[in-house]
A and B are shown apart, each in its own frame.
Chain A
Amino acid sequence: MQQTSWIPLFPEQASSFAWQVDALYFYLVAISVFFTVGIVAAVFFFVVKYREKEKFATGAEIHGSVPLELFWSFVPFVISMTIFLGGAIIYYNQYRPPEDTMEIYVVGKQWMWKSQHGTGQREINELHVPVGRKIKLTMTTEDVLHSFYIPAFRTKADVVPGRYTTLWFEATKPGKYHLYCAEYCGLNHSGMGGWIYVMEQRDFDNWLAGNVSGQTPVEAGQDLFMNKLGCASCHAGGPSQRGAKLEGIYGKEVKFTNGQTAKVDDEYLRESILNPSAQIVEGYQPIMPTFKGQVTEEQLVSLIAYIKSLSGVTATTSSSSSNSTMTNTATPANTANNSNAASNAANTNRGK
């Protein structure tokens, strides 16, 4: 653990917006000190100066003052608006991921954080990221609420079962930083944490190279798509295609039978797999069965990564995601081996 902050008892600044949060914090500390000292001094002064001169004497006849009331309503209002605006700007930037991010998937589970890089490396309770890259976490949970919290980055976001939440950051300083679960999640809540390792790009590349990488999410998703779940029987090209054409769909607008439209993003794809009959895209029949309960969160993440790759979206460092092998080559036996390899990789990381 590094404690190299120049202020004692102060957390390290290690992300691109840490200094903004700290600046707002010190602005508020200054305001608080000003008002606390001012009011406490006034109260102290009055209490001493106007101590009762005689038992049961009567204080001065003062009822109040409307101008004064307006003054001390208006001034706090203006100050609180500056605080609101400062906070709003920081929050807006923190919660809207930029375009050119490196994407990592995170799944929370009682009581561990599982993550998977675009290049296939899986980690548990650890996350290695390169310094100076914008990193976007797409997160969900297999059970209850959790919250992914990195104090040194001044950011956190809850993970919610049944949907994706995102968190992005750009680490600015190599080092090892605490990762906590900040939303109470039961028995071993305080044990659900670990470390974020921020590395120089070179070290990060070495780390990637030195790690068993198993299947990439795109490969795993392709496997599910082609073999395990049988999506290909309706969604792959060819004369038998009854389901929506998925190539190039990501990021486009789709129009539903009821006239509404939606943009195809991660959340939309997730909903379409789990609850396909909720909204039907124009020109298709509501024939797709639900996959709720048949795919795990980690499989869903892979499936979505694969569908995105069909639109040329590979938001990772990965160089190996292969769109070319569209043919149905993998056998069920292979599939089993592959998923073993993946969980072995996870176990290896856990053992570290």
Chain B
Amino acid sequence: MTALCAIETEGLTKRYGSGSAAVDRLDLHVRRGEIHGFVGPNGAGKTTTLRMLVGLARPTAGSARVLGQPAGSAAALACTGAMIEEPAFYPFLSGRTNLRLLAGHAGVPMSRIDAVLARVELTPRGADKVATYSTGMKQRLALAAALLKDPELLILDEPTNGLDPAGIAEIRELVRGLAREGRTVLLSSHLMNEIEQICDRVSVIQRGRLVTEGSIDELRGRPELRLRADPLERARELVRALPFVESLRTADGALVLAAAPERAAAINRCLVRCGIEVSELAPVRSSLEAVFLDLVGPAEEAGERDR
């Protein structure tokens, strides 16, 4: 697995004082070249995990390897670009000077600065002080900083936080573009829609523990068919008898059939032939948000959001 993994943690644990673990025996696997979503309610331990991956925090127990190197080591960070929590820059310096300073520390040529500013479309404002930047511009500058080393791996913590819909779309497109270049991206986000749209695989974390890990399709499960018909009970009896309907349940006044979507025409034909009025027969699939709420529980999600 190690050769395939850009990030691999084993039993990664972080405790603060004698309290409960912020991250609890986490086994995380991020494959090379994928966009991996990292989701969980507020306080689930996402940022703490990311901080350990870039060496800002030290694990209490367990281990983490990034690109085959110990997490936080110079060798690992040489190929990693990261944006953890809110972007933080020297407000009295321009965006360009901030990058110049960071490039000096990273040991990358100053010529990279123009390239990354252009990449995040910040060139026209590069000479302005960061104090005058909007939230979206600071996020883009943070992305530019993360790209300075032309990294193989990008670790992005809520990169669309505080952005308007246009800004979110811009960042989403940018992340997609970076992944198309063969980079691995670990993306932490609250926005399930965002994760669903751009990630290949997802890890869900709750109370510091991994709840599940898999591809978006795996998590969302197989598509089903929703049937609204009259009379409903007669329709239920008919479809139950069909050999390709694996199971049947009722939800929101409709029947939900575990059957391949391509069977819809056959089901419709059968029902109509028997005098049943079919008002809806459509494929449905759980959204990632619904799966997430099933996994972590809506009460906790709402409660955490209110904190």
Q: Do A and B come from one complex?
A: no
Residues of A within 8 A of B (CB): none
